Amino acid sequence: MPSDQAGMTARATTGKSAGMTQYRFLNAMGDVVAEGEYADHATAIEAAYDLDDDVDEVQRVEFLGPQGDWRWAGPLQG
């Protein structure tokens, strides 16, 4: 289910853009509900709130670290 918000798509994205970091959005069960590329954590976390209207409630935002591992991007403010 594609989303037009901030370049996000559900489940899939294209290759990494210069200066952008890959982020993924997880629901309460830990399932990835969307992914996207953002310039920084704050922008990705803000996008999580926009996603809540379109997909299962986002509980966690992670980014792809330099060693290829997924890392917590920070707390969601509620």
Residue 11 maps to a domain: no
In a domain, 51, yes or no: yes
Angle, CA of 25, 11 and 44, to the nearest 5°: 30
Q: pTM higher than 0.85, yes or no?
A: no
Q: What is the pLDDT of residues 14-55, one digit of tens each?
A: 455 778 999 999 998 999 999 999 999 999 999 998 886 766
Within a domain: 59: yes
Structural domain span for residue 38: 21-72
Say if residues 4 and 36 touch (Cβ distance below 8 Å). Answer: no
CA distance 1 to 65: 26
Residue 49 lies in a domain: yes
What is the domain count for the chain? Answer: 1
Domain for residue 63, yes or no? yes
Q: Is residue 31 part of a domain?
A: yes
CA nearest 15: which of 40, 41, 33, 35? 35
Considering the domain boundaries, does residue 9 fall inside one? no
| 16-27 confidence digits (pLDDT tens) | 577 899 999 999
